[in-house]
Chains A and B, each alone.
Chain A
Amino acid sequence: MASDSTELASSAHGSAWRRQLAGALFGARSARGVPSAHASRGVWRALLGNPSALAGIVLLTAFIALALAAPHLFPGDPLDMVAAPFEWPGSDPLYRLGTDSLGRDVAAGIAHGTRVSLLIGASAAAIGLVIGTLVGAIAGFFGGVIDDLLVRITELFQTVPSFLLVIVIVAIGRPSVTVIALAIGVASWPTVARIVRAEFRTLRQADFVLAARSQGFSDARLIFGEILPNALPPVIVTASVMVASAILIESSLSFLGMGDPNVVTWGGMIGAGRDSLRTAWYLTALPGAAIVLAVLALNLLGDGLNDALNPRMRERS
């Protein structure tokens, strides 16, 4: 609040009614928990104080570190044949997690797969968030015919089963990392749009928006400068869950053989290991365990964020 009030004093030019107006403005904003520096410090403290959220952060950090270190830990192409096929984990000290049916190092595959999974997860979620936020913000802010139209389009995308939509879009383009991320993003924005729209519909009547409007702010400034920052908490919570589900969708896609054939992915490893499921089930189990841990980390973080950003939930538990 301290930084807010100094900013206020300098901008208010001593005019009493303006200070009052701005007071109401910032009062309304701080009551809703603006993600200002102060509030976000509180969120971090709440996250670090929550054991499951902390576990999620540690796990996620470990995966990011693995993704960054993969080229140094396992130099060379992970799709190259390095040893005899079907070496069980632990039987060869050089390849601790064993080798697959073509003699490729499973550990190297998992490490390099982390890069693809996290990349696709993050960029798909980013695409979905941008589309969803724009659609939701415009629908909720303007209302009327625009709202009706956008809600209809949102419902359209929610009616087509999203996994089938992803498959169709990937089949239209080539199965490359970019196209897959785009497809998952395009299929996942409706959830965000609904959340953002609901927030905007309640917030557009708030006093601080009225105050900003009476100051003659443009619609774009009202949307992005005033309402959006206050509508962000539920979106942030959704973001981490979206990354998690994008990773799950990508793994299903590459398990079905529709992933990018030029990179090693966890789902692709499982799909390849499926042929030798009866004899070498570790080829299925190990990459799957990596998926579970990565997605679990993001979901733990999402739950922690939800508790930290949603005061109603916090007082309840």
Chain B
Amino acid sequence: MNRRTRFAAIARRTAWQALPTVLAIVILNFFLLKLMPGDAADVLAGEAGSATAETLQALRAKFGLDQPVLHQLGAYLSHLAHGSLGYSPRYDAPVLQLILSRLPNTLLLMGTALGLALVAGVVLGAVMAHWAGKWPDRVLSVLALLLYSTPGFWIGLLAIVLFSVHLGWLPSGGDATIGAQLHGFARFADVARHVLLPAVTLATFFVAIYARLTRAAMLEVQRQDFVRTAHAKGLHPLRVTVRHVLRNALMPLTTMIGIHFGTLLGGAAVTETVFSWPGLGRLALDAVMARDFSVLLGVLLLSSLLVIVANVAVDLLQAWLDPRIA
């Protein structure tokens, strides 16, 4: 089977599996959210200070909240089929527009964090595996376990105290300097300065996971015959570790990236709160507080889609890395 047909087969299979999953998630979430006490009309009325029963009725009628639940579900699904995620009563804007305006920020944060975590995790894991049982392994193992046990938001807050309050090196929140009209490289540097602390905060937990995984996978590979052959050929031990062991140990790591993608998204929600980063997670939390169901449904749907897409990407990556996977 050549490469293209294999990719097509994987893509077809995942699409076939993903579609029912997405539909089930939408319906399940819809009923979950309908179980929540209160609705957007209550919150809007509460924030306005007072409202008569008639105003509440009018608000509910405007957003279709007075319809039977199954009717609402049908309307939502038919909107979805037309590419619309509904309308947010609170922001007075289409949900899709709201989500798309926040999505790039979240992807930037997650992408940077994932990149940092992968690089640091693989390097640490390789060092640990190369010196397995010796002191670098022991010290780094303790460090990895410590990072694995630390809540990300706490690291973030302490980092703000150190780097923003005491040293004044980095900004403590936001995604860009407010009011600054920057272009070109200055803008890039500004965003990079803002994304650094949140990304490092989000990455810490995953550095620990990837380091431990890399170490375990490398120890597994180290016992195989071709590694002994490489040693017997007289290759430098470091070269064997990097070229022969590490390359083959990266396979299980890619699987775990797919599995942990949802956790990364959840972690992003907390990190965004700590650093007032205007992203999807923040939007979801605000939507919970405001009982803004259409926004919450949209975010849940979109994050599930992101997880599915990430897993498809991992499948394709693995098929590319290892031709034995069909």
Footprint of B on A, CB under 8 Å? 52, 152, 155-156, 158-164, 167-169, 171-172, 244, 248, 251-252, 255-256, 258, 267, 270, 274, 277-278, 281, 284-285, 288, 291-292, 295-296, 299-300, 303, 316-317
Contacts and interface: CB of A to CB of B under 8 A. Distances in A.
B321 interface: no
B151 A159 contact: no
A66 B283 CA distance: 38
The 9 residue pairs across chains A and B that have the minimum distance between CB atoms:
A163-B266, A288-B154, A295-B149, A161-B262, A296-B149, A161-B265, A281-B161, A161-B266, A172-B35
Contacts of A152: 20-21, 24
B160 interface: yes
Contacts of A291: 150-151, 154
A255 B132 contact: no
A162 B262 contact: yes
Interface in B8-31: 20-21, 24-25, 28-29
Contact of B269 (A163, A277, A278, A295): A163
Contact of A172 (B25, B36, B165, B307): B36
A201 B22 CA distance: 28
B149 A161 contact: no
Nearest to B291: A171
Main SS of chain B's interface residues? helix
Contact of B288 (A171, A284, A285): A171
29 contacts: A52-B142, A156-B28, A159-B21, A160-B29, A162-B262, A163-B263, A164-B265, A164-B284, A164-B299, A164-B303, A167-B285, A167-B288, A168-B33, A168-B36, A168-B288, A171-B36, A172-B37, A244-B149, A252-B151, A252-B153, A270-B153, A278-B165, A281-B157, A281-B158, A288-B150, A291-B150, A292-B151, A292-B154, A300-B145
Contacts of B145: 296, 299-300, 303
Nearest to B297: A168
Chain B CB within 10 A, most for which of A159, A161, A169, A244? A161
A270 B150 contact: no
B44 interface: no
B146 A288 contact: no
B219 A159 contact: no
Contacts of B248: none
Contacts of B299: 164
B300 A160 contact: yes
Contacts of A169: 32
B263 A277 contact: no
Contacts of A274: 157
B199 interface: no
Contacts of A281: 157-158, 161, 165
B262 A158 contact: yes
A256 B33 CA distance: 20
Contacts of B151: 248, 251-252, 255, 267, 288, 291-292, 295
A306 to B, nearest CB: 10
Given A161-B304, A248-B149, A292-B146, 15 more contacts: A155-B21, A159-B21, A159-B25, A159-B308, A161-B307, A163-B263, A163-B265, A163-B266, A163-B270, A164-B300, A168-B33, A288-B150, A288-B151, A288-B157, A299-B149
A85 to B, nearest CB: 19
B214 to A, nearest CB: 15
A288 B156 CA distance: 11
Given A159-B21, A168-B33, A288-B154, A256 B270 contact: yes
Contact of A316 (B32, B154, B219, B262): B219
A252 B270 contact: yes
B87 interface: no
How many of chain B's residues touch chain A, expressed as a range?
35 or more
A22 to B, nearest CB: 36
A288 B303 CA distance: 29
A317 B29 contact: no
A162 B303 CA distance: 11
A284 B303 CA distance: 30
B202 interface: no
B273 interface: yes
A160 B161 contact: no
B246 interface: no
B148 interface: yes
B267 interface: yes
B278 to A, nearest CB: 16
Contacts of A258: 288
A167 B132 CA distance: 40
A308 B233 CA distance: 36
A295 B154 CA distance: 13
Contacts of B32: 168-169, 172
Nearest to A317: B133
Contacts of A162: 262-263, 266
Nearest to B146: A296
A276 B71 CA distance: 48
A41 B219 CA distance: 29
B203 interface: no
A299 B149 CA distance: 7
A281 B307 CA distance: 36
B296 interface: yes
Interface in B110-161: 132-133, 142, 145-146, 148-151, 153-154, 157-158, 160-161
A163 B202 CA distance: 14
A171 B284 CA distance: 12
Interface in B199-238: 219, 223
B24 A156 contact: yes
A154 to B, nearest CB: 11
B72 to A, nearest CB: 17
Contacts of A317: 132-133
Nearest to B308: A159
A174 to B, nearest CB: 8
